[in-house]
C-alpha cells in the first residue's frame, strides 16, 4: 500500500491509479514510492515546502543547492542539508519502514510510468511556499542626475535598393533551457483509440483530445485538427518535451 500522504501529492484520481498499480505488484510498489517522492519534490516551489500530513519529515526546504530537512527514524533524529531528490526519497522511504527492491520491468515501461507520475505531480495543487527572508537591510537609493535622451538611431543594414532596415537582434540561447514545444504531431485515427497503459482510459472523444486521468490536466492546452485518416495535435507552452514524449509513447508505442 502506498503512503496516504501521496493523495495530496498526486491528487485523488492519480493516487487511486497508482494505488491499483501498487496492489497489482509488490516489487512495482517498491519503485512507485520513491519515484512519486522524487516527482513531488521536483515540482514543488522553492522555499519552505509544506509537508503533507502523515509524511515522516518534520521540516523540508528547497533551494538552488538542494533540499534540507529533518525526520525521526526509529527514535533517532536525522537531518540532511543540500541533498538531492533521490537522497530525500531514500530518507522518507526508510522512515516509512519500506525497502527498495530491484524491479523486473522493462526500462521503457518504467520510463513511461515515471513521466506519468511527473504529470500527475505537476497537475496536483501546490501549497504556496514561504519566500526567503533577507538578513541584509536594503539601503535607500540615491537619485541619479538627469540624463539627456539618447538620440542615436538604431543600427541599420543597407539593401541593394539603398533602403535601410533595422537590424534584428537574435535572442541568445541559454544553456540548459529548452525552447517551448510547439511542433505538432500527427497520429492516425486508429492510434487515437488506444487506451492509456497506466490508467486504462481512452484519451480521445470524437477525434478530440480530452485526456485520461494522467493527461487530462493538459487537455485544454492543445488543439486537434482532423483530416480523412489522421489527427494533428498542436501544443501550447504548457506542454514541455517530457509531456509530449510521454503522450507519443502511449499513442505510438514509444516511437
Domain boundaries, the chain: 6-123, 185-251
Q: What is the pLDDT of residues 141-154, one digit of tens each?
A: 555 555 555 555 55
Helix (H) or strand (E) holding 18: helix 12-24
Q: What is the pLDDT of residue 142?
A: 56
Average pLDDT, the chain: 78
Query: Please, what is the Cα angle at 71 between 69 and 76, to 5 degrees?
Result: 135
Tell me which residue has cell 505531480.
121
The more confidently predicted of residues 251 and 47 is 47
**Closest alpha carbon to 241 in 178, 176, 173, 196:** 178
Structural contact between residues 163 and 156, judged by C-beta atoms closer than 8 angstroms: no
Q: What is the pLDDT of residues 45-73, one digit of tens each?
A: 999 999 999 999 999 999 989 999 999 98
Rounded Cα–Cα distance for residues 27 and 24 (Å): 9
Q: What is the pLDDT of residues 156-192, one digit of tens each?
A: 555 555 555 544 444 444 444 444 445 788 889 888 8
Q: What is the pLDDT of residue 177?
A: 45
As a residue count, the chain comes to 255
Which residue(s) pair with 187 in the sheet?
A: 231
DSSP state of 202: B
Amino acid at each position: 500500500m502506498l503512503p496516504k500522504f501521496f493523495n495530496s501529492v498526486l491528487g485523488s484520481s492519480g493516487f487511486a491509479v497508482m494505488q491499483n498499480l501498487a496492489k497489482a505488484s509488490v516489487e512495482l510498489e517498491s519503485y512507485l514510492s520513491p519515484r512519486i517522492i522524487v516527482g513531488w519534490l521536483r515540482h514543488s516551489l522553492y522555499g519552505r515546502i509544506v509537508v503533507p500530513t502523515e509524511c515522516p519529515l518534520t521540516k523540508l526546504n528547497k533551494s538552488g543547492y538542494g533540499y534540507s530537512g529533518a525526520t525521526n527514524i526509529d527514535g533517532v533524529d536525522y537531518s540532511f542539508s543540500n541533498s538531492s531528490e533521490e537522497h530525500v526519497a531514500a530518507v522518507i522511504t526508510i522512515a516509512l519502514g519500506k525497502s527498495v527492491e530491484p524491479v523486473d520491468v522493462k526500462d521503457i515501461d518504467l520510463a513511461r510510468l515515471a513521466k506519468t507520475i511527473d504529470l500527475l505531480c505537476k497537475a496536483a495543487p501546490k501549497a504556496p511556499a514561504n519566500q526567503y527572508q533577507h538578513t541584509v537591510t536594503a539601503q535607500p537609493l540615491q537619485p541619479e542626475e538627469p540624463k539627456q535622451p539618447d538620440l542615436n538611431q538604431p543600427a541599420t543594414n543597407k539593401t541593394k535598393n539603398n533602403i535601410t532596415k533595422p537590424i534584428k537582434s537574435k535572442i541568445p540561447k541559454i544553456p540548459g533551457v529548452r525552447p517551448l514545444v510547439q511542433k505538432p504531431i500527427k497520429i492516425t485515427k486508429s492510434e487515437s483509440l488506444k487506451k492509456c497503459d497506466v490508467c486504462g482510459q481512452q484519451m480521445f472523444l470524437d477525434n478530440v483530445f480530452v485526456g485520461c486521468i494522467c493527461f487530462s490536466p493538459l487537455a485544454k492546452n492543445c488543439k486537434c485538427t482532423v483530416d480523412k485518416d489522421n489527427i494533428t495535435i498542436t501544443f501550447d507552452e504548457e506542454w514541455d518535451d517530457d509531456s509530449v514524449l510521454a503522450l507519443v509513447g502511449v499513442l505510438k508505442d514509444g516511437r
